[in-house]
Amino acid sequence: MKEVFFVKFLVLGGSGIQGAASAWDLLHMHPDAQLVLAGRTEKDLRETAEWLDSDRVEVSAVDVTDRQALVQLIQQKSCRTVISSVPWAVCIPPVEAAVEAGAHFVDFGLYQNREFDDRMDEFDRRAREAGVTVIPSVGVAPGLTNMVAAHGAAKLDCVDAVKIYVGGIPEEPEPPLDYKAVWSLEGVWTQFFEECRLIRDGQLTSVDPCSELEELDLPQAGQVEAALTDGLGTLLHMYDDPVFDGVQEVFEKTIRHRGHYGKVKTLKACGLLDTEPVGVDGARISPREFLTALLSPMLQMDADERDMTVMHVRVTGTHEGQETAYVYDMVDFRDMDTGILSMGRTTGYTGSILAPMVGEHITQTGVVEPERLGADLDLFATILAEYEKRGIKVSESRQ
């Protein structure tokens, strides 16, 4: 009998939507994969392991903010690669631990943490010294959007603009907000408060969040709206790289069903998204906490409902003296057989596609931005083929 050599992956946040999707995909696409699901709550991890139903899965409860505990876990379990789906606010200890333990690191939200931005050169140096690869913020958005942006840019002689439209929405809009929660409601509210960073006139600048509302009519998605959000990820670092030579404008707009933005802005104007506690009959509670607790049950996706992830990226510039645009489109739906949400598929599968490629197809060490993967035309063709194996089709057209 042929001996099977297993490759071990640590999935942090392994019981969440994205982490569980990564785990499912690794098990089904890689017979040599062994997984350690890790996170704060052992009960949730065990429930996910039961759903995965594989003897190649083990669980480990760990505080993801405890760097030394993570180092010990990675080394004790001999994990080659860490996939991190923990919230961006606590994602620094995991990357520090992975590099210290000598493991590769693939992450969904690292670049949203300003500390990583400030320390990026340090992490690059430390990862190179350790001989490992760190791929930050490589979910669907940021992540896949950044890869296709660089893919289009690499085919142009000079880039003028990168316009990204992307979002996760229910297949059908429903009241009260024409939205269902495919990720945390806190993340939805935050989009309306954080400054939106983008590139204008070739310079990094900021504008008001959820501004410059635009109506779109997209294939399969239909009539939607989109507004500026702070989701460019590593494009904020890479826009002045030679692959984007000449670029003057780079922005991301988040797609929602029409009417959503107006409804949430009304909630904001009424003070219902404020975080400062207010007194009510002798008790004190933050309006946002109250609203989140009130709406969360009614905004959950039912088992018979589908969410959809919509992406439309347009990269314009010149090629051989001619104005040229490369346009990338994707519409993905929930897998009703597995129950995995589209947001889990498009984000989690991005991690489970790239993690096994690190050290083989992806050989560069240090911090490797998603744009570098997209700009490598042969490598990105391989990545797109992996998406397609999973029923996620990214179309490209030249205009």
Q: Do domains 7-135 and 144-398 have the same CATH topology?
A: no
Closest alpha carbon to 20 in 338, 298, 257, 372? 338
144-398 belongs to CATH 3.30.70.20: no
More confident residue, 2 or 294: 294
Closest alpha carbon to 270 in 299, 300, 255, 290? 290
Tell me how long the chain is. Answer: 399
Predicted TM-score (pTM) of the model is 0.95
| Amino acid 272: pLDDT | 97
Look up residue 214 and give its two tokens. 């635009």
Query: Which residues are 397's β-sheet partners?
Result: 327
| Amino acid 51: pLDDT | 97
Asked whether 253 and 228 are in contact (CB, 8 A), the reply is: yes
Query: Which residues are 367's β-sheet partners?
Result: 134
Give the single-character DSSP code of 111: G
Strands 214-218 and 222-228: antiparallel
> What is the residue-averaged pLDDT of the chain?
95
Cα separation, 198 vs 204, in Å, equals 6
Closest alpha carbon to 351 in 386, 378, 379? 386
> Residue 348: is it exposed, middle or buried by C-beta count within 10 angstroms (0-12/13-18/19+)?
buried
Cα separation, 156 vs 29, in Å, equals 34
User: 27-74: per-residue pLDDT in tens?
Assistant: 999 999 999 999 999 999 999 999 999 999 999 999 999 999 999 999
Look up residue 50 and give its two tokens. 């039961």
Class of domain 7-135: alpha beta
Give the single-character DSSP code of 37: E
| Amino acid 6: pLDDT | 66
More confident residue, 383 or 185: 383
**Cα–chain-centroid distance for residue 348?**
8
Cα separation, 389 vs 337, in Å, equals 16
User: 313-336: per-residue pLDDT in tens?
Assistant: 999 999 999 999 999 999 999 999
Asked whether 18 and 42 are in contact (CB, 8 A), the reply is: no
For range 272-278, the mean pLDDT: 96
Closest alpha carbon to 211 in 224, 188, 229, 225? 229
Question: Which residue blocks in 65-184 are alpha helix, DSSP H?
Answer: 67-76, 92-101, 114-118, 120-130, 144-154
Cα separation, 135 vs 357, in Å, equals 11
Look up residue 13 and give its two tokens. 């946040």
Q: How many CB atoms within 10 Å of residue 381?
A: 10
Is the pLDDT at 374 greater than 60, yes or no?
yes
Cα separation, 317 vs 158, in Å, equals 5
Cis upstream peptide for 142 (omega within 30°): yes
Strands 307-319 and 322-333: antiparallel
| Amino acid 2: pLDDT | 42
Is the pLDDT at 3 greater than 70, yes or no?
no
b/e sequence 168-197, b meaning 16+ C-beta within 10 Å: bbbbebeeebbbbbbbebeebbbbbeeebb
User: 162-221: per-residue pLDDT in tens?
Assistant: 999 999 999 999 999 999 988 778 888 989 998 999 999 999 999 999 999 999 999 889
Domain extent listing, the chain: 7-135, 144-398
Cα separation of the two ends of the chain: 54
For range 262-266, the mean pLDDT: 97
Radius of gyration over alpha carbons of the chain, in Å? 21
Q: How many CB atoms within 10 Å of residue 345?
A: 27
